Structure 1
Amino acid sequence: MRFIIISIILIIIIGFVIWRFRGGQNRFPFYEFYSRGRREGFTFKEIGFLKQISIQNKLEKPQSIFWSTSQLDRCLRPAIQKINADERMDPKQKLAITRKLLELRKKAEFNLPKYQKRIRDTTALLPRQKLVVKESVYGTFVSWVIEINRKYIVITQPSGQKEWETLDWRSKKIQLSFWRQDDAGYTFETKVQEQIAHEEFPLLYLSHTNNLDRDQTRKSIRVDTSIAVRFNPVVYSAEGAVKKPLISKKMHVGRIIDLSESGCCMIAGRMLKKNDRVKLDFSITETKRVITLGLIVGISPTGDDRVKKYHIMFVKINPVYKNNIALWVYNIFGEREDDESSKRRRAFQKTQVKKEA
């Protein structure tokens, strides 16, 4: 009899523990929530914090905070505000948990279907797709897709070099590369089948191919922008046997046209080369300044021979700056909307001044 009573008590205790562990009356799926949180690299304490955030935001499926971009965006703002307001946490802890949340947001973004789609052959190209054309003798050019039909890829005659109008492309083997939005970079080789030397719209007809090399080198989400930037090239001292890197005192100006937490694309003059290092100084909002060291990993032509596009990877960046850029990219605090509104307001004010003048 005593054994039966003890067994019943144990069963009740075990049942109560399981009931509490699974969420009790609120039916919070704590086991699934905890398991997913551990798989994503969060500590028990951090998972408890995320649980509070998901409850406060009344998520129907609390565990979706680990994979849903919409649910994450809904929770990130109050979560980061709460982290910053917590006086018991030291700055390093605040940076670390904020970075984990932003990495989770990036992972959820890259898991969206639009980033998983890829093309298998050139028939999937779309009109107006920008192409970088390389030929072993002629060099590197820029072109655009005009039309895709069953037999050919029709592109504009490659331009961007001197006397490009006079070049003979017939029967040339060329390499083309392009960036497909929300996907990856692609490279393929093909042959020029025909050249139409029209005065106004000179065109090339290329063969189709299904031999595409896909290169998903982008590790972070980036957005188009237009941010003024000051930069100083890194130079090397010529004194002694060992060359020391120094930040040049000569400052240049450019414009960042897309930005992510890991790099940017900058338009500037032609003074820089691939593998050069530069110190960048820019502001993403009126109160958030970024200073970082970047490495030029690629250079692209523009329509103007005097300027180039510099593809820059950040090689040394303060964690605070990195988090601030990521928060700006995901627009967690609506900072990009404020930036666009202020630009439109300034443009309107300029037009009013011109009218009055």
Structure 2
Amino acid sequence: MKLKTILNFYTTGFDSGFTFKQMRLVRKLAKMAHIEDPTTLFWSVPAINRAIAIVVQIANNVGSINNSHTAELLNKFYAYRSKIELDPPLKTGLRNTAFIRPGQRFKIVLPSNGIFYSVVLNNDSLITVTYPEPAKPQYRCYDWRKKRIAVYFWRKNDAGYVFDTEVHGVGHYRGRPVLFLQQTTNLQRSQKRRSIRCPCSIMADLYLLTDARTKNINSFELEQGIKCLIEDLSEDGALIRIGGKGQEGMSVKLQFKLGDKTIVMSGIVKSVEFNQKTNQSRLHFQASGVDELMRQTISMYVYSILPEEQKENFDSISLFDDEKKVQSDSDLEEL
């Protein structure tokens, strides 16, 4: 294997949860079967079957098929195939942006500004990406610093992902203008986000559904709850800032005003970003109990603050179709 192929092989293996011992076995199988892209053996059962068939054919040709060493090796290969078939390593997908590899293409959605394209150049304490290029001439952003963005990407041999993050800063990397993005563990593995989100600043009350004083999930609360700030909103969730340290998995109810209408959303805190310096938490809240009329009110509010030319893009954006077609390492070689 070439050095680049070897690095790609081990990076993919570690990303997918393989041990070094397992990767050595997979690499041996790839070498014996003359597999051009050995990373396919991390996830593709048909590729593993073809590789084993080639190894068996070679062993038959050289007369070593009954050799104890060959038998032991084939048993390991068969056991490995069974493991991948029963428990595919990629079925759980990425859980942390720290594992996104250089060369990954991004589509960046900046609310009220448009859609932009970028490529990952480096991934360390921050994600370094090429300076975003607008998808259409009318999309532009003159200052990316501290902007909250949604990032969409397609991971090879896996699925589509989306995550929200903040632009940490703007600078240069190896002579190229770049953005530095904050890392996050809040990745959604799906083809597209189910609903449109928009940035906002809405004061709200948060209630713990485990608290005996809290009424049922749909009732209006008369007493004040935990004061919080909604930083972005959709019909099926919100990004909420609270004081103190939040807890993942909390069942909560959110109550706030949109115009003269009171909105109640109940659901669960999917993940938490805690800032120790400010002693504040961002709660990624997913709603499961929203009255249909309230859902419509939220949708109308979200659409009302989006620029007209972007409403269709946010509603039916084709995020991953072209990414699926770009599956080679040529992206990285061009950088």
Q: TM-score range by the shorter chain?
A: 0.3 to 0.5
Bigger radius of gyration:
1
Answer 1 or 2: which has greater helix percent: 1
Q: Of the two structures, which has the highest relative contact order with CA contacts closer than 8 Å and spacing of 6 or more?
A: 2
